[in-house]
Amino acid sequence: MWQLPLHTGATPWTRLTTILIPSFAPRKLFHVGTDVSTEEALTNASEILSSALQTAYQSAENPDSSQSPVIMGLAQLIENAQTLVDAVLERDFPTDTPGEK
């Protein structure tokens, strides 16, 4: 559904942007079930980030790509996010390492 100006004092710019920008309610395409624990959600997020990082590295290795620096920048952001997720997992849900107590 497209929005139309609701007031008569609209300037040409507000009239144009109001008419050209569609109005719609955002839909959720992805839902995390209420039965998913924090640990499970963070573990899954870490696995997704790991896959995204591998994809970024493989894409950056393409010798024909002029986007390699951009892709490497994205890889760094993914690594940062993965480090945050992994740190929270280790802090809040430590894994038992043999020999440690």
pLDDT at residue 66, rounded to an integer: 87
The whole-chain average pLDDT of the chain stands at 81
- Cβ-in-10-Å burial (0-12, 13-18, 19+) of 49 comes to buried
Per-residue pLDDT reduced to its tens digit, 25-34 = 777 788 889 9
Per-residue pLDDT reduced to its tens digit, 32-69 = 899 999 999 999 999 999 999 999 999 988 878 788 89
Give the CA radius of gyration of the chain: 23
58 inside domain: yes
pLDDT at residue 54, rounded to an integer: 96
88 inside domain: yes
57 inside domain: yes
65 inside domain: yes
With a cut of 90, say whether residue 6 has pLDDT above it.
Answer: no
Parent domain of 47: 39-94
Residue count of the chain: 101
18 inside domain: no
Residue 75, C-beta contacts closer than 8 angstroms, at least 6 positions apart: 53, 56, 57, 60
DSSP 3-28: ---SSTT--HHHHHHHHHSBP-----
79 inside domain: yes
* Tally of structural domains, the chain: 1
7 inside domain: no
13 inside domain: no
Q: How confident is the model at residue 89 (pLDDT cuts 50, 70, 90)?
A: very high
With a cut of 80, say whether residue 70 has pLDDT above it.
Answer: yes
With a cut of 80, say whether residue 5 has pLDDT above it.
Answer: no
Nearest residue to 87 via CA among 55, 49, 57:
49
